[in-house]
Amino acid sequence: MTDALLRARADLEAGRLWQARDRLTGLLTHRQDDEVLSLLADVHLRMGDLPKAGALLAALGREDDQAQLALAAWRQRHGDEDARLRSIPRPVRDGRPDVVGALAADVGDVGDGDESWGWQGSAAFAGCLLVMLALVALVVVGVITVVGWIV
């Protein structure tokens, strides 16, 4: 058991749910085993954050009565399958492809985005294009200025 996990358990026993949650969330970036996921899901349940607990419990495949309530809240908050899949923390999605594969069976492609850019992508492209044009204009003005000094 790691030091962070021991501290998180001590925080939980002392009633410091926020600190336990923060420690476990940080630990989740390094290890995604069932112990960490289950403990973090329990912390979210004790804090009353059913949708977040539901996302973790879905990854764990837990289906007891308490998990059913959390899973229902998770499904309600994240309406479609793709949104549900994305609500699972990235380290869990990246570190446990078996879980993602099982959860994404109805979703199809498990990518982070769809193929179309939407208006946000178009706006980002237009912004980058404007910045590039401004840089080219500045370079041209600079070259003309330097040539003027030389001649």
| 62 closest CA partner among 27, 95, 35, 86 | 35
The whole-number average pLDDT for the span 99-106 is 61
What is the pLDDT at residue 58? Answer: 86
Q: Where are the domains of the chain?
A: 3-112, 116-151
- Residues 108-151: tens digit of each pLDDT: 444 444 555 677 778 888 999 999 999 999 999 999 999 999 98
CA distance 52 to 57: 9
Q: Which CATH number fits domain 3-112: 1.10.150, 1.20.120, 1.10.3470, 1.25.40?
A: 1.25.40
Q: What percent of the chain has pLDDT over 90?
A: 39
What is the pLDDT at residue 61? Answer: 84
Structural contact between residues 58 and 78, judged by C-beta atoms closer than 8 angstroms: no
- Residues 7-16: tens digit of each pLDDT: 999 999 999 9
Structural contact between residues 58 and 103, judged by C-beta atoms closer than 8 angstroms: yes
| 39 closest CA partner among 13, 76, 74, 72 | 13
